[in-house]
Structure 1
Amino acid sequence: MVFFRSVSAFTRLRSRVQGQQSSLSNSVRWIQMQSSTDLDLKSQLQELIPEQQDRLKKLKSEHGKVQLGNITVDMVIGGMRGMTGLLWETSLLDPEEGIRFRGLSIPECQKVLPTAQSGAEPLPEGLLWLLLTGKVPSKEQVEALSKDLASRAAVPDYVYNAIDALPSTAHPMTQFASGVMALQVQSEFQKAYENGIHKSKFWEPTYEDCLNLIARVPVVAAYVYRRMYKNGDSIPSDKSLDYGANFSHMLGFDDEKMKELMRLYITIHSDHEGGNVSAHTGHLVGSALSDPYLSFAAALNGLAGPLHGLANQEVLLWIKQVVEECGEDISKEQLKEYVWKTLNSGKVVPGYGHGVLRNTDPRYVCQREFALKHLPDDPLFQLVSKLYEVVPPVLTQLGKVKNPWPNVDAHSGVLLNHYGLTEARYYTVLFGVSRSLGICSQLIWDRALGLALERPKSVTMDWLEAHCKKASSA
């Protein structure tokens, strides 16, 4: 029974996705379609911020004492799982549905966000506009934002020098985070704060820092890649290309399908509400009024952990290990034995399970659809498809996993590998570039809304034991 559940799960999820698409024209979310002809993103925010500030004040004054749930000992010692304790405007994660960007699901974003002239996947610039304004931009607005980002993308030489001071063998995330820290020298927020800017204006230099940061991280990331894997032969930016296509170009991949993949990759990896390690870290550090460069560099260091962003490299390495030991034509029964072998050795099957999701990750689904369209005969993609049928029943039988279904990491490496980006250690850098859109968008709203310094209460085991003893005797 479990096996058939796993085989049919993707079909059910795909049907639900198609249902979402077919009903989209009747959805209230269409009110988000941008009617303004204003092409300037910052002026759009200037109009939106006062209304949202009043909305937050009303929430606080009228409902500030409303309880959102009970905190249990399990939550305190279990990584605060399930504890509602953070305001994050740009996206919301539903355990069953998956991520929604400003209320829009991934299929809805694929339907309504502008695409490249020759492509079908959403342009990351369009998602950035959506995250910041809550409105679906016009093609002209996205083009204007793309040009604005291109005009901000120049990286000073001292950033490259800072990276070059590291061994070329240093992990790509170490080099990338170092480059971001070096960019901090030009922080507009730091300068404005030192000059005594009023707190009501904090969002304005934060906006400038965030747009500059988003524009420059692909350049820094591409430099790290070319330094490590292509003998330092860097490729200049092409300002005629959109954000995703230009990143692909600077990495050295000019295949149109790879450019499409990069647009999709950046879009779906951009944001995943605020509780994950990288997003929460960016918000936490930013709440101390550290500028966006410091905040994002801290977020990258969280992303580099094996339990977070580093997982995407682990997936491809594990899959290649399967092929090396068992061959590409491995049967499902042999694959099942290999999965059990992995689990019995005290390891996890990378790419499966999620801290919040309880169904197949929609980000996995859209990548699978991309593969079915562009690379259906790729041997590693076929292996990933077999894993989808084999792994969930095994994890369910194991009985220790709340979510046995694949997450976003289970698929991305195979797609990148197909188009020639085979260096798995670098994959987390791609994740980091993508995540700049979500973290920076929220940082702007953090400052616009005047969100407070984060300072939760911690307790000791002695305190917990005493509290529980008191509660049990009451």
Structure 2
Amino acid sequence: MRGLTGLLYETSKLHPVNGITYRGKDLNEIIKQSPRASGGTQPTPEGVLWLLLTGVYPNQEEVKTFQEELYQRSHLSDETETLIRNLPEKMHPMTKFSIGVMSCQPDSNFAKAYHKGVPKKEYWEHTLEDSLDICAKVIQLAAVVYNSTYNRGKQLPGPDQDLDMSANLVQMMGFSDKSFYDLMRLYLVIHADHEGGTVSSHTAHCVNSALSDPYLAYSAAMNGLAGPLHGLANQESLNFLLDFEKRFGHIWTDNDIANYVEEILSESRVIPGYGHAVLRKTDPRFIHLLEFAEKNIEENNLIRLLNQCYTVIPKILDKHKKIKNPWPNVDAGSGVMLLHYGLNHQDFYTVLFGVSRALGIMSSLVWSRAFNLPIERPNSITLDLLLEKVSSGK
């Protein structure tokens, strides 16, 4: 089904050259025009969530009020926090995260309204209520998952109503670097949505099309995101650089990079972080990460290596005729940035991806219900029928 048009997805669209747009606005414009937190240099997730829902940018007063509302919606029950903390320490963070989302499902506004017989024309309103609750709660859910897995026994701060979602997440995980606040703002914004065909977005759309409530749909999406072919890419890209560093140390040349890449390709392996199913140019999200590093991170070996790979690797990949896109995508750089700020627990990176993707996925569900889209039901075929068609030449 790759490339087969079959979904109406209102919140974003991916252009093969220009990259992602949210509600028709490209990422460069969004980064420039979205509201910022006080003292911050990057747009806030709250402002981009507003844009995804409404199609327009909020002003500073609107985003301030919206931030306050989301803070009020972010509360987790004692039962949910206790449940997550009592899960096995070695359980994967994405499994904990999905379980945490499901534990909030009994509070679904949509489920309660549906069972009361609310008319279809009001479905979107209750989907909106659930979607806002989920976008607010995922910050605290992610922090509880992180702390129960990696910070057991430590006393860490709770949410602060004066901080935006990104700053709260970083602080609740035990980090205090204000520059990390800004990186997390950028990270959540550029990963917020990537049109409807990705596994996580499509899964949410499919599950919600059965009128399963947004909690059920989002949890299902996270289970799809946990798959290695979807949510593992930035970890593989980071390990590609770390393996190179382990082999060559801090003194290396462009030829070392080229030989390393050729060696991997000769073994029929791919270069992680390079290429994309849709994009045919450098991912603008990757460029924004490089620009952030240039302004905020003192050059170190991994940052220097990341930049130089961007110079060397596309030239090599471009020589291979089977490779349609030799350019880096966002995953080539995001892991390096997270590691720089001390977030070295790679299994948690996918949870952060899931937190960011909540903004787009939940916004899209609101529009799906506003459009009253039907249950998804594509046709299928058996192998025998397929072979019959092939043999008949039809």
Q: Please tell me the TM-score bracket, short chain as reference.
A: over 0.9
Q: What's 1:217 paired with?
A: 138
Partners of 1:297 and 1:241 in 2: CA distance = 26
Greater gyration radius: 1
- Asked if structure 2 preserves the Cα contact closer than 8 Å seen for 1:313 and 1:426, the reply is no
Q: 2:182 aligns with which of 260, 263, 282?
A: 260
Residue 162 of structure 1, CA deviation: 2.6
Is 1:148 the counterpart of 2:65? The answer is no
Worse overlay, 84-93 or 315-324: 315-324
Q: 2:109 aligns with which of 188, 191, 194?
A: 188
| TM norm structure 1 | 0.80
Is 1:204 the counterpart of 2:122? The answer is no
Is 1:399 the counterpart of 2:287? The answer is no
Map of 1:69-84 to 2, 5 A cutoff? 80-84=1-5
What's the CA shift string for 1:77-121, capped at 9, x where partnerless?
xxx112111001001101111001111111100111111121221
Map of 1:66-465 to 2, 5 A cutoff? 80-233=1-154, 234-465=156-387
Aligned partner of residue 114 in structure 1, secondary structure: coil
Q: What's 1:25 paired with?
A: none
Partners of 2:291 and 2:134 in 1: CA distance = 31
Residue 173 of structure 1, CA deviation: 0.8
- Asked if structure 1 preserves the Cα contact closer than 8 Å seen for 2:84 and 2:148, the reply is no
Residue 329 of structure 1, CA deviation: 2.3
- Asked if structure 1 preserves the Cα contact closer than 8 Å seen for 2:84 and 2:144, the reply is no
Partners of 2:298 and 2:286 in 1: CA distance = 15
Partners of 2:383 and 2:298 in 1: CA distance = 53
Worse overlay, 386-395 or 214-223: 386-395
The amino acid across from 2:130 in the alignment is: D
Residue 240 of structure 1, CA deviation: 0.9
Residue 194 of structure 1, CA deviation: 1.3
Partners of 2:123 and 2:287 in 1: CA distance = 39
Partners of 2:311 and 2:4 in 1: CA distance = 32
Partners of 1:395 and 1:307 in 2: CA distance = 20
Partners of 1:201 and 1:104 in 2: CA distance = 28
More relative contact order in 1 or in 2 (CA 8 Å, sep 6+)?
A: 2
Could you tell me which runs of 5 or more consecutive residues in structure 1 were left unpaired when the two chains were aligned: 1-79
Partners of 2:274 and 2:382 in 1: CA distance = 33
Partners of 1:223 and 1:128 in 2: CA distance = 22
Residue 142 of structure 1, CA deviation: 0.7
Residue 371 of structure 1, CA deviation: 0.7
What's the CA shift string for 1:406-445, capped at 9, x where partnerless?
1111011111111111211111110000000000000111
- Asked if structure 2 preserves the Cα contact closer than 8 Å seen for 1:316 and 1:424, the reply is no
Q: CA RMSD in A?
A: 1.4
Partners of 1:308 and 1:394 in 2: CA distance = 25
- Closer, same or farther in 2 for the Cα pair 1:327/1:297, shift >3 Å? same
Q: What's 1:61 paired with?
A: none
Taking only the aligned residue pairs, the percentage that are identical comes to 49
Aligned partner of residue 350 in structure 1, secondary structure: coil
The amino acid across from 1:208 in the alignment is: E
Residue 380 of structure 1, CA deviation: 0.8
What's the CA shift string for 1:338-358, capped at 9, x where partnerless?
122223334322111111111
The amino acid across from 1:85 in the alignment is: G
Worse overlay, 337-346 or 235-244: 337-346
Partners of 1:303 and 1:157 in 2: CA distance = 27
Residue 285 of structure 1, CA deviation: 0.6
- Asked if structure 1 preserves the Cα contact closer than 8 Å seen for 2:11 and 2:53, the reply is yes
Q: What's 1:49 paired with?
A: none
Partners of 1:235 and 1:277 in 2: CA distance = 34
